[in-house]
Structure 1
Amino acid sequence: MLRKKRIKEFSHLLPQLNIEPSQRPTLVSDVLEEIFSLVAETDSRSSVFYYYDHAALKNLYACALVNRQWCASAVRILWRRPFSPIHNGGHKLITTYLRGLDVEERRDLKLKRIKLPTVSPIPMFNYPSFIRHLDYGEMLYAVEVWSTTLPRRRPNTVISVMRVLLRLFLHNSGPLSSLKLASLGEDYHDEKVMILAEPEIRSLITSVRTLSLDGFDCNQHGLLVRLPDLCKNVEYLHLRGWYGNKQNEEDTTIDNNTTNISGTTSSQKDAAAISLRRLIKAQKSLISLDMIDCKAYLGHIISALDTQSISLRKMKFRLVDFKDCGPWDGLATCHKLTNLEFWLCKGITQKMIKPLINGTFPELEEVKMLQYGKGCEEFNTWINNMNGTTNKEEILEDSDDVDFFSQEDPDL
């Protein structure tokens, strides 16, 4: 009451503006979406594939309950990243999407004896038009869970529904902005991921700017081989959990004159290394490369960086084992680097870093390092010289600190 009284007392001092009701400024949808994006997308770095956390989801749900306009804007943000390990009801999203199928798509699925949810209630929004970021593994898992709710599950149910939904996304939303592909386990064979390479669907991923590859198993090498031809506009590339086949010798058993080799074969390892190299070389303008917990293919990956020497700005290595990597000639050609980071890496030798030490990096702002023990002395000296300090790197003596470090960074 006191505040209203004060406003009334001094209202005569305010300028008198004759504004028609139709001309009064309002928060249009675009402005609301921008505000909600700042509320939900706490990590504003476009170079990172991430999920909304519980706090972000709670805030967006609260915004959606204010009024109709706020609801429409909040829903657009919520459904940009529909599939997430945080969500327990991913299969319910599948039901919502399937309700938006046209008559022809529904008929095709019914001909395959796949029971679909009823059209009613009609969705309030065109949800497929909002998707921009896709975790393919989480989507595939959601379809798998949804298929278990059917009275009778057909052998082709998952692949058929995945194909229909991906077409639905492409026709309503257009190409994706970011894509995450991960090792899906023994039950997810190449056939289930090769859907992305089909002619009527591959346009969905051709314009992806952020690509995250969390390791591939032997059942998924077909898509990895095709990626260099499908994704050529990647600006931010994340590689995580690439171990190669170092355990092959331990996994080889002989039984009744039959050799059973589990794990990745030598030919598959070579194919993976070549495909990763081709993927980097195929990019038109790679800006950032982030490697996490990788132990294989380092030589192939780093040697391919010479093709990105003009565009590459950021390199980050975390928990990377450089053993048997070879000289970093490709990295040394990237003269436009502005950020270079090494977090808890090992296996770095004087032979590897020699090209880097002899290279010139006029735009390099800082080299960050967190390591165990003393590491390579020449590398430490080079880092100190680049940073203009005498002891810039941080040293950890106890390996137990990895757990704390991993908690600080959600990507680890």
Structure 2
Amino acid sequence: MAQGLSAECLQQIISYNEDDNKTLHSCLLVNRFWCHNTISILWGRPWRYSITQTSATNLIQTYVACLPEESKKVLYNNGIRYHLTSISPIFDYASFLRALDYDCMFWSISQWLISCWLYRVLNYEEEIKPDSEHQEDRVEDCVGEENERKTILVARELCNLFKNRCRIFHDLFLHSRAIQSDFPFLPSTSDSSNYLANLRELICLGDNKSELLLAISKVCSELRRIFVGFPLTIQWKTHYDTDAMSYATLIESQTRLESICLYGYKRLVAFLVDSLISQSKTLQTLELMYTDFREEQDCCSIMLLPACKNLKSLKIHNCFIPPDDRIMPLTSFLQLEEFDFCNEWNPLYPLPQHEFWEEIFYNTKSSLKKISLWWIRADPKDGSQIIESIAKQCSNISFLHLPVLWINEILLLFSHCKQLKEFSFSGDDFDANESLTQLGILVPAALHSLTIRDGHIGGWTFTERSLEHFLSVCRASLKKVDLNRCSCMTDRHFDVISRRRIAKC
């Protein structure tokens, strides 16, 4: 039956497993037809999978083998004489690339160079001088400045290879290494075509990235998602103003942007908000993460956001937003399907006022399907009105992820939210043996995934018998029960879950 499928149909089917490295490797081994239609998917995003030193070395070795002879000569003349071969690979692996993580590629190249040096030493192709002083210098050459120079050279040649061989390119991830160096992957005037014209996603995190963002804005106008900002590891961010202005230029140069993230911006937030309004007709996802709205002008810019009438997903993580009436415009997205709020480490501002939660849940009660909330909750009174608002307004919610809950709140949610499919929460120190039976009776029949975690001060405790009784009276056909972060769990608890053929994660 599979042999009767066209190549396009088979590729479409296999693409559903593009995140599963093991499954893709299994598909390669079915037959030659499957191999030819799997290889492009497997090599489309090679840095998406978990990269070890061994896999990184093999990956770069394969790409180096794809280099033209001119590039191999360049490497040879610069002292990179390891594992170079004139035999071409079976497939043109470089042409399959659809996503480039430059920092991961850079690290992979450095691991490949170290591996090649060790190979030569172990095979007596290179001698380490016996005196400790010279030996230390030789190792430092391998992992220090000399390795850095060679890594940059290999990265440049590989980027040129990708530029010449990639017909379609979708995703670009740039972090400190790409920003600090002369990034060699951008199109130049000598390039015959703009291989970044079809770029769909850009992630760029680092300091002093203004020129890079401006260069990308000149060659990319079809981006769907932009995630740009300052990593929290950067203590001193010296280029807020120029970076913010360049980011705004990049946003305004797009024709149908669907997702924008402002990450770590402390100034000129109003300038960025004003630019994203230019994408109000197409914008569907807005992420505000570690962004500071305390300046009056920045805070007032929140009033502009309701212009994004088609917004379906709103994420607010650890932002400095005044919890008074100035946050109320964020309740005006009537088509919102997903709301994600986190106030994990921001003690300067309490949670938004009760009116905010009432209004946002009321305005979106017919559209909202997923809620993810997190804040430090050590008292039942802290945020209890939020839980009540969810139970009262969000009866159609399907996915609900909440912080520490008390048993009466869970019973309240189960009584009102009958469409729940996925539910997770944390529990503080509590003997749940008697309550589990009551929960099992009230569990919504639609629920298929349940996650319980320890809270801030301990967690739920229950015996394996209580767990088995809960599962026996549970009305829902649970497919996944994740209790791995419950400290009371033992092998006997997991055996109870396994016997019912429930995935225990």
Compute the displacement of 1:351 (Å): 5.8
Query: What residue number does 1:347 align with?
Result: 321
Q: Distance in 2 between matches of 1:189 and 1:309?
A: 29
- Supply the AA of the counterpart residue of 1:286: L
Compute the displacement of 1:94 (Å): 1.3
- After TM superposition, list the pairs within 5 Å mapping 1:284-323 onto structure 2: 284-291=255-262, 298-317=269-288, 322-323=293-294
Q: Distance in 1 between matches of 2:269 and 2:377?
A: 23
Q: Deviations over 1:315-346 (max 9, x none)?
A: 24456554433222442322333443445655
Q: Distance in 1 between matches of 2:107 and 2:373?
A: 41
Q: Distance in 1 between matches of 2:155 and 2:328?
A: 49
Assess, with a 3 A threshold, how the Cα gap between structure 1 residues 317 and 310 changes in structure 2: closer, same or farther: same
Alignment identity in percent? 26
Decide whether the 8 Å contact of 1:236 with 1:287 is kept in 2.
yes
Aligned match of 2:28 in 64, 71, 80?
A: 64
- After TM superposition, list the pairs within 5 Å mapping 1:154-165 onto structure 2: 156-165=149-158
- Supply the AA of the counterpart residue of 2:224: E
- After TM superposition, list the pairs within 5 Å mapping 1:183-262 onto structure 2: 183-184=176-177, 190-193=180-183, 195-196=185-186, 198-200=188-190, 203-213=194-204, 215-218=205-208, 220-239=209-228, 242=231
Aligned length: 344
Q: Distance in 2 between matches of 1:284 and 1:166?
A: 27
Normalising by structure 2, we get a TM-score of 0.58
Compute the displacement of 1:314 (Å): 2.4
Listed as ranges, the gaps of 5+ residues in structure 2 are: 118-141, 344-349, 379-402, 405-423, 427-452, 454-481, 483-505
Decide whether the 8 Å contact of 1:326 with 1:351 is kept in 2.
no
- Supply the AA of the counterpart residue of 1:229: K
- After TM superposition, list the pairs within 5 Å mapping 1:36-51 onto structure 2: 36-38=14-16, 40-41=17-18
Decide whether the 8 Å contact of 1:367 with 1:383 is kept in 2.
no
Aligned match of 1:138 in 104, 117, 120?
A: 104
Question: The residue matched to 1:94 in structure 2 has which SS?
Answer: helix
Listed as ranges, the gaps of 5+ residues in structure 1 are: 1-23, 42-51, 248-262
Compute the displacement of 1:396 (Å): 4.9
Query: What residue number does 2:89 align with?
Result: 123
Aligned match of 2:362 in 372, 385, 390?
A: 385
Q: Does 1:181 align with 2:174?
A: yes
Query: What residue number does 1:99 align with?
Result: 65
Q: Distance in 1 between matches of 2:352 and 2:282?
A: 30
Query: What residue number does 1:28 align with?
Result: 6
Compute the displacement of 1:103 (Å): 2.3
Compute the displacement of 1:309 (Å): 1.8
- Supply the AA of the counterpart residue of 1:170: K
Question: The residue matched to 2:44 in structure 1 has which SS?
Answer: coil
- Supply the AA of the counterpart residue of 1:98: V
Compute the displacement of 1:288 (Å): 1.6
Q: Distance in 2 between matches of 1:242 and 1:378?
A: 33
Compute the displacement of 1:291 (Å): 4.8
Query: What residue number does 1:398 align with?
Result: 376
Q: Deviations over 1:254-313 (max 9, x none)?
A: xxxxxxxxx332xx2211121222221121211122456766653332221121122212
Compute the displacement of 1:193 (Å): 2.7
- Supply the AA of the counterpart residue of 1:191: S
Aligned match of 2:75 in 81, 102, 109?
A: 109
Compute the displacement of 1:119 (Å): 2.5
Compute the displacement of 1:365 (Å): 4.2
Query: What residue number does 1:74 align with?
Result: 38
Compute the displacement of 1:86 (Å): 0.8
Q: Distance in 1 between matches of 2:213 and 2:326?
A: 27
- Supply the AA of the counterpart residue of 1:310: K
The structure whose RCO (Cα within 8 Å, separation 6+) is larger is 1
Question: The residue matched to 1:83 in structure 2 has which SS?
Answer: helix
Compute the displacement of 1:125 (Å): 1.0
Decide whether the 8 Å contact of 2:110 with 2:147 is kept in 1.
no
Q: Distance in 1 between matches of 2:315 and 2:148?
A: 47
Query: Which 10-residue stretch deviates more, 284-293 or 313-322?
Result: 313-322
Q: Distance in 1 between matches of 2:259 and 2:168?
A: 21
Query: Which 10-residue stretch deviates more, 162-171 or 109-118?
Result: 109-118
Decide whether the 8 Å contact of 2:324 with 2:352 is kept in 1.
no
Question: The residue matched to 2:226 in structure 1 has which SS?
Answer: strand
Decide whether the 8 Å contact of 2:110 with 2:148 is kept in 1.
no
Decide whether the 8 Å contact of 1:243 with 1:294 is kept in 2.
no
Decide whether the 8 Å contact of 1:291 with 1:318 is kept in 2.
yes
Query: What residue number does 1:19 align with?
Result: none
Question: The residue matched to 1:283 in structure 2 has which SS?
Answer: coil
Q: Distance in 2 between matches of 1:170 and 1:25?
A: 34
Q: Distance in 2 between matches of 1:234 and 1:384?
A: 31
Compute the displacement of 1:234 (Å): 0.9
- Supply the AA of the counterpart residue of 2:249: R
Normalising by structure 1, we get a TM-score of 0.70
Which one has the largest radius of gyration?
2
Q: Distance in 2 between matches of 1:124 and 1:117?
A: 17
Q: Distance in 1 between matches of 2:371 and 2:10?
A: 43
**CA RMSD, 1 decimal:** 3.8
Question: The residue matched to 2:278 in structure 1 has which SS?
Answer: helix
Assess, with a 3 A threshold, how the Cα gap between structure 1 residues 345 and 67 changes in structure 2: closer, same or farther: same
Q: Does 1:326 align with 2:319?
A: no
Question: The residue matched to 1:196 in structure 2 has which SS?
Answer: coil
